[in-house]
């Protein structure tokens, strides 16, 4: 990334609420922001609960989008969606040509995740996505307020800068905060207010 | 309205795309903004295409919402949704205790609307909503860029001030611009970019 503009185009994805371990699809909402300020567009798609199609579905959605040319960064709320539908962020970055930043509000408990993934036949493939996501870093957003993140397709300093510039209204980057509000309203009829 | 704050809470509603004159319901998205800046919450509901339930459904949705106490203004994109499901803005304002501002990007053609409404048995009731919406005013937003509006439950000067402060990113108030993007992505998978 040559230089990071304040209005850098970021798309943040989040899943709608669903019943864990149920069958079927879960809606996914993507929100395109210019930096942390201006909402530029919305995506809606679906992935399979506990399936393995999230990486491909997001790749296709973005590569076919009119926003594609201007987009620079994908933001995810963790590397799983719809339960344990794993996102391979290394593959997602390569196939879209976009940088990926994963935000975790709490430090992911890898032991617990490993245990949960063991119930799947394709444990190795799923665990591979965890390994491909790389190290988990911490950064301070405010006094005593940390966030955890992973990244692919950009430098660590760039990732930190983009996280900071997009956290305009809370400790969550705007594209993810708004994606969460929309996805939750889709199912509940009203979002939970501030994420 | 005693004094209008820059962060006045506004909810803007818009309907999703649908096939005109078809049967069934159409999704409605509501977006809560603080002034023209901060997206605070999302509503999703449904109304009947060409039905008469929009006023009651919006009233119930808002009166049962956790956002209710802070909300001051409802914004609508015209006084019909889902085809000719009419919103009685005088009733909506009375039953919710909120001010209502209706935005029309073009001057509504009342002759044409009257003709379209004649095909309904309850023409008189529907036309009554048009009359209850009051006069249509014009205001200048930029050089050669006008918008048309109606209002209920506040003064004309207040309505104009709220329209201006919420048009932070375009000639459309943010709550309506974003409601339109979300509602359109629900059906199309991707919003049409800027509204």
Query: Looking at residue B91, which CATH number applies to its domain?
Result: 3.30.2170.10
In a domain, A2, yes or no: no
For residues B191 and B174, give the distance between their C-alpha atoms in angstroms, rounded to a whole number.
15
Q: What is the pTM of this model?
A: 0.95
Task: Tell me if B193 is assigned to some domain.
Answer: no
Q: How far is A5 from chain B (nearest CA, A)?
A: 18
Residues of chain B contacting A44 with CB distance shorter than 8 Å: 185-186, 189-190
Residues pairing with B149 in the sheet: B103, B137
Tens digits of per-residue pLDDT, A125-148? 999 999 999 999 999 999 889 999
| Chain A environment of B40 (Cβ under 8 Å) | 193-194
Q: Indicate whether B103 pLDDT > 70.
A: yes
Three-class SS state of B118: coil
In a domain, A107, yes or no: yes
* Nearest-angstrom CA–CA distance, B85 and B65: 22
pLDDT for residue B132:
95
Q: Which member of A39, A65, A193 has the closest CB to residue B178? A: A39
Q: Looking at the 3D structure of chain B, how many domains does it have?
A: 1
d(CA B67, CA B94): 18
Mean pLDDT value across residues B181-187? 97
B115 pLDDT exceeds 70?
yes
In tens, the pLDDT along A29-84 reads 999 999 888 999 999 999 999 999 999 999 999 999 999 999 999 999 999 999 99
With a cut of 60, say whether residue A195 has pLDDT above it.
Answer: no
Asked if the structure places residue B79 within a domain, the reply is yes
Which residue range(s) make up the domain with B78?
9-188
Residue with tokens 């709608």: A16
B29 to chain A: which residues are within 8 Å by CB? Answer: 185
Q: Is residue A3 part of a domain?
A: no
Domain membership flag for residue A112: yes
Segments in B64-193 forming alpha helices (H): 89-96, 110-117, 123-132, 156-166, 174-188
ipTM score assigned to the predicted complex: 0.93
Residue A1 lies in a domain: no
Residue A139 lies in a domain: yes
């Amino acid at each position: 990334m040559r230089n990071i503009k304040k209005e850098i185009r970021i798309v943040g994805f989040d899943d709608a609420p669903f019943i864990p371990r149920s069958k079927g699809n879960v809606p996914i909402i993507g929100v395109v922001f210019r930096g942390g300020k201006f909402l530029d567009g919305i995506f809606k798609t679906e992935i399979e609960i506990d399936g393995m199609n999230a990486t491909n579905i997001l790749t296709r959605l973005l590569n076919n989008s009119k926003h594609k040319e201007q987009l620079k960064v994908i933001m995810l709320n963790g590397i799983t969606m719809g339960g344990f539908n794993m996102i391979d962020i290394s593959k997602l970055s390569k196939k879209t040509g976009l940088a990926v930043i994963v935000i975790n509000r709490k430090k992911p408990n890898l032991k617990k995740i490993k245990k949960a993934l063991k119930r799947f036949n394709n444990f190795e493939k799923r665990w591979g996505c965890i390994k491909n996501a790389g190290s988990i870093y911490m950064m301070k957003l405010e006094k005593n307020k940390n966030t955890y993140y992973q990244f692919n397709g950009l430098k660590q300093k760039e990732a930190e800068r983009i996280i900071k510039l997009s956290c305009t209204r809370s400790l969550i980057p705007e594209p993810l905060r708004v994606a969460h509000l929309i996805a939750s309203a889709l199912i509940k009829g009203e979002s939970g207010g501030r994420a």
